[in-house]
Amino acid sequence: MQRVGVFVCWCGSNIAGTVDVQAVSEALKNEPGVVFSTNYQYMCSQAGQNMIIDAVKEHNLTGIVVCSCSPRMHEATFRKTAAAAGLNPYMVEIANIREQCSWVHKDMMTGTEKAIILGKAAVAKVNLNTPLTPGESPVTKRALVIGGGIAGIQTALDIADAGFEVDIVEKKPTIGGKMAQLDKTFPTLDCAACILTPKMVDVAQNEKIRIFSYSEVTDVKGFVGNFDVTIKKNARFVKEDICTGCGACVEKCPMKKVPNEFNLGMDNRSAIYIPFAQAVPKVATIDPNACNMLKNGKCGLCAKVCAAGAIDYTQKDEYIEEKYGAIVVATGFNPISMEKFDEFAYNQSKDVITSLEFERLTNAAGPTAGKLLRPSDHEHPHTIVFVQCVGSRCDSCAEKGKEYCSKICCMYTAKHAMLTRDKYPDTEVYVFYIDVRTPGKNFDEFYRRAVEEYGVKYVKGMVGKVTPEGKKLKVQASDLIANKQLHIDADLVVLAAAIEPDQTARPLATMLTASMDTNDFFTEAHPKLRPVESPTAGVFLSGACQGPKDIPETVSQAGAAASKVIGLLAKDKLTGNPCVASSNELMCNGCSSCERVCPYGAITYVDKEFRMPDRTTKVRRVASVNPAVCQGCGCCTVACPSGAMDLRGFANNQIMAEVDAICK
């Protein structure tokens, strides 16, 4: 039997105005287990807390009931008080007689009556409380970053800076991501390569960072602080540690007609390739679908010219298992397919391009060496039409596009338009917009400059139709301000395609038990207060995998994710919430019902040997809860038919006791 002390708070007149606190403390004296009961003006004050501490010592109390304000207010306070008195902090129960009693009832008699019942329920519960100790688990002091774009790079650099080891897994042969493909960046117009490639070099040279390029995560097990991850290193048929990246093989490779994905198929590369000059790691990769040697054993030229002897046609996919304490998802985005937008004739004309293709066309390292030439005939375009919101802000019923605003298009279109007018003042540039959204530092100034200083023609309205006619593209559009329909003969049409999260992230989300929204963006733990954490402990989000973002925003989120990771890895041990589920193995059937409803994957099954009454043993499958992963929702306790699963702090018998006390 517990020795319970009851402390009724007046909260000045907040409680005492509607509840006869004296009567409450008197009435609760007679409850089972109660050996001491009193009331005081402000229980949460230092004097009130001291009163509790003294009473614990004087009356050898083992449990405390405080009848006061909401536990959401002061439960933590009184738990600390209990700890100071030498009690387990979880031997405290709060009866909420302010928010849920004195403040909502006017009559002294009903208020007092209800306060007594709430007090009785708390006493009944505390009688069944057991001391709880939060579980501890060690932390593997290494982080995994999935995705090697600017988000992943920045996160990895920041974590490494704090002294922790980081591995980057990137599915492409090089890190760099989308930013490596960009020409200039808004609103400052620095060249993307100039600011990104030094960071890529930093990553390569940082002793704390390992890069798994051309690799993917295939399995994730474990929990916060203790993830076991399997990484598949795809065979690139080149020994990474030996290859010097000299490029001799690339030059000699006879198979030169492979569409170059880095330039979005606007030119070709060889079967053995280095994606771009500043690739990290700067190592060649053989495309197994294009290489003659790998397909039919006829060639082998690259092996002959490789002075380092790095070519290995027999290389196999390799699986690596590693342990991590934290995982950062930085899987990024892709522009959506333009295939379904027939009205813009993307499939019919080479001169209708996406904005990302436009980036490559204007990039000095791109297929035209930075000269703005039409893809169809390599002539200089004189009239360019930019179309914004292509596939963004579509209603959900329109299956072609996305419901959300892609956020970055307004600014990069302004950039493209401005740069075009700057380099080629003879070009006429139209931008068709629905709204121009420029909420960022120096963003609106930038857009206004495009209009005012560079003479870009912004037209409020949308393009309805693009028709290729001879060498021209007939653009039919509306100008809503002038209230007329425009017909423009354009040489080039640039579509600001909506962006979507990388589709390969879907299976990853399942592996990580991290949730995704209807658009396949990763869900943050709280949209305002925990924007870089996923709901799964130990999994963090960086960059556009969480929602559309420009570079400055991505970098700041990457830093925020890194700081959360550092905060986690800096701990030697993690202490959990002690109010977690646990299974009574003797009663567990091993039926898997609990495992199926657990949102955190905290329940696994183990085969356990039981001694039977007749001294034989029997092996049974029983549930085992990982207290470091369990968040204590209690869903499993109801799914369990035998009642083997129970929740500490909110146990079946405790809630039943509360029900009984209230209904008595």
Residues 641-660 that bind other proteins (CB under 8 A): 641-644, 647, 650, 652-653, 655-656, 658-660
79 binding other proteins? (CB under 8 A): no
The only residue of 37, 49, 96, 363 in contact with other proteins, by rule CB under 8 A: 96
CA–CA separation, 197 and 202 (whole Å): 9
Pattern 496-535, other proteins, x by CB under 8 A: -------------------x-------------------x
Interaction between residue 573 and other proteins (CB under 8 A)? no
Question: According to the binding rule CB under 8 A, does residue 246 interact with other proteins?
Answer: no
- Does 340 bind other proteins (CB under 8 A)? Our answer is no
The Cα-based distances of 595 to 592, 600, 642 in angstroms read 5, 9, 14
Please tell me whether residue 586 binds other proteins under the rule CB under 8 A. Answer: yes
Query: Which of 217, 418, 463, 473 is the binder for other proteins (CB under 8 A)?
Result: 463
Q: Rounded to 10 degrees, what is the CA torsion of 121, 124, 130, 133? A: 10
The correct pick among 57, 59, 256, 465 for binding other proteins (CB under 8 A) is 465
Q: Distance (Å, rounded) from C-alpha 354 to C-alpha 264?
A: 10
Can you say whether residue 455 is alpha, beta or left, with left for phi > 0 and alpha for psi between -120 and 50 degrees? left
Residue 476 found at the interface with other proteins (CB under 8 A): yes
Binding part of the chain for other proteins, among 32-40, 114-122, 360-368, 554-562 by CB under 8 A, reads 114-122
Find the binder of other proteins among 394, 451, 516, 566 (CB under 8 A): 394
Could you tell me the CA-to-CA distances from 93 to 32, 118, 134 in Å, in that order? 15, 11, 17
Compare residues 98 and 269 and give the one whose CB is closer to other proteins: 98
* Contact present, 236 and 214 (Cβ < 8 Å): yes
Regarding 462 and contact with other proteins (CB under 8 A), the answer is yes
- Per CB under 8 A, the list member of 365, 597, 601, 624 interacting with other proteins is 597
Give the angle 625-627-631 at the CA atoms, nearest 5°: 100
Q: Does the protein bind other proteins through residue 615 (CB under 8 A)?
A: no
638 binds other proteins (CB under 8 A): yes
Q: Tell me the C-alpha distance between 2 and 65, whole Å.
A: 12
Least Å from the CB of residue 224 to other proteins? 16
- Does 224 bind other proteins (CB under 8 A)? Our answer is no
Minimum distance from CB of 135 to other proteins (Å)? Answer: 17
Q: Is 508 left (phi over 0), alpha (psi -120 to 50) or beta?
A: alpha
Closest approach, Cβ 618 to other proteins, in A, equals 6
- The span of 181-189, 218-226, 409-417, 612-620 binding other proteins (CB under 8 A) equals 612-620
d(CA 245, CA 222): 37
In whole angstroms, give the CA distance from residue 256 to residue 237. Answer: 18
Q: Binding to other proteins (CB under 8 A): which residues in 274-313? A: none
The only residue of 56, 159, 372, 389 in contact with other proteins, by rule CB under 8 A: 389
Q: CA-to-CA distance for 650 and 648, rounded, in angstroms?
A: 5
Residue of 101, 153, 410, 431 that binds other proteins (CB under 8 A) = 101
Among 49-57, 104-112, 285-293, 348-356, the segment contacting other proteins (CB under 8 A):
104-112
Is 71 near other proteins (CB under 8 A)? yes
One residue of 51, 434, 451, 511 binding other proteins per CB under 8 A: 434
**Interacting residue with other proteins among 72, 256, 295, 378 (CB under 8 A):** 72
Among residues 2 and 554, whose Cβ is nearest to other proteins? 2
State yes or no: residue 616 binds other proteins (CB under 8 A): yes
Residues binding other proteins: number (CB under 8 A)? 86
Shortest spacing between CB 522 and other proteins, in angstroms: 13
What are the residues whose beta carbons fall under 8 Å from the beta carbon of 626, sequence distance 6 or more? 223, 602, 603, 604
Helix (H, G, I), strand (E, B) or coil at 325: coil
> Chain centroid to CA 12: how far?
46
**Measured from the CB of residue 392, what is the shortest distance to other proteins in angstroms?**
8
| Residue among 132, 85, 120, 125 nearest 2 (CA) | 125
Alpha helices for 42-107 (secondary structure H)? 46-59, 71-84
- Residue 497's Cβ-count burial label (10 Å; 0-12, 13-18, 19+) is buried
Q: Interface with other proteins by CB under 8 A: which range of 47-55, 98-106, 258-266, 311-319? A: 98-106
3-state helix, strand, coil in the chain (%, to 5): 30, 25, 45
Q: How many residues does the chain have?
A: 664
Which of 42, 313, 424, 605 binds other proteins (CB under 8 A)? It is: 605
